Amino acid sequence: MTEVSTIGLDLAKNVFQVHGANATGAPVFRKKLRRDQVLAFFAAQPSCLVAMEACPGAHHWGRVISKLGHTVKLIAPAYVKPFVKRQKNDAADAEAICEAAQRPTMRFVAVKSEAKQASAVIFRTRDVLVGQRTQLINAIRGHLAEYGLIAPQGPFHVERLIAQIEDPDSDIPVAARACLAVLVSALRHLQEQTAALDAEIAKRAKDDETARRLMSVPGIGPLIATAIEALAPPTETFRSGRDFAAWVGLTPVQRSTGGKERLGRTSRMGERTLRRLLIIAASAVVRWAKRKGVPAESWLGRMLTRKPPMLVIVAVANKNARIAWALLTKGGIYRAPAATA
């Protein structure tokens, strides 16, 4: 029997599909496995390359299978899709994963440790709470707009509406006021929980030497500094800061052909949470620069005079991502050039 060299594993909740191939890519076996059979199956296989799509649970299986002596590599689903032949099913997916893993130019996702995944939970939790907070704020705004009560945009200004709900002399009907009070109570509870998470993130940033160095960059605070450490893959994954910024999704999509460059919208690849935080921070930097002013000969000053605001914001976020990669790779702190503000 030909010895297997690569195994493609299509992950699922209960029923897994494996596809084994030899060094030439010829199929050796195709098999369905129940969840409780997976580890016993791989323990009986000779040491080989095991490939999986990077999806929920992939890092867990990558860790446990690597302990059995196998080399585990994760592939982004977008890179596996071109290898699926005609119909999509579990067997075809496992075969496509196996074929993609054997390509010499394939890009792989690093398997995260449990500690790395645990440090990212705080940001995932914060995202859920912030989303729920936004839903409650929008609900309060929508309901009070029915009674002619409005407030400017932003979570800070919703307090004006809350004051109307809590004012017994306002024109809000009593029946509606009781329901709106439930929304207000839930909103304040979420605000307290979000503030507690923000305090924990600030504490982690203060105690971590790498996060303190990242915070020397204008536009990178405790939240972004700890997010980069928790969510970004190892710096050696990228050849340069440009590659890191492209992974975050802060570069334009190319539609070039025939020697003509055509650049489209921002790619939005990579880690969504990290990209959003960098964009929000960059927008604050640009607003401050437009309000307070920056030297006309500085990079930011030249960008603001020639480019639209949103393009400048993305450019600042891209620059901060590249600077962060350089600090993580080479050490030290950020020192602004003499010509910039």
Q: What is the pLDDT averaged over residues 79-88? A: 92
* pLDDT tens, position by position, 33-74: 999 999 999 999 999 999 999 988 999 999 999 999 999 999
> Hey, is 199 helix, strand or coil?
helix
Name the residue type at position 194: T
pLDDT at 268: 79
For the range 139-147, what are the long-range contacts, defined as Cβ-Cβ under 8 Å and sequence gap of 24 or more?
Answer: 139/183, 140/165, 140/180, 140/183, 140/184, 140/187, 143/176, 143/180, 143/183, 144/172, 144/180, 147/171, 147/172, 147/176
Q: What is the pLDDT averaged over residues 89-97? A: 95
Q: Of 258, 210, 262, 257, nearest to 234 (Cα)?
A: 210
What is each CA distance from 226 to 149, 204, 205, 208, 229, in whole angstroms?
A: 39, 7, 6, 9, 5
Q: What one-character DSSP code corresponds to residue 113?
A: P
Q: What is the spatial distance between Cα 311 and Cα 8, in angstroms, rounded to a whole number?
A: 41
* pLDDT tens, position by position, 266-311: 887 888 899 999 999 999 999 999 888 888 888 898 999 999 999 9
Q: What is the pTM of this model?
A: 0.82
**Above 90 in pLDDT, residue 82?**
yes
* pLDDT tens, position by position, 119-177: 899 999 999 999 999 999 999 999 999 999 999 988 889 999 999 999 988 889 989 99
Q: What is the spatial distance between Cα 6 and Cα 22, in angstroms, rounded to a whole number?
A: 6
**Above 70 in pLDDT, residue 1?**
no
Angle between helices 272-292 and 114-145 (to 10 degrees): 60
269/183: higher pLDDT: 183
pLDDT band at 341 (very low <50, low <70, confident <90, very high): very low
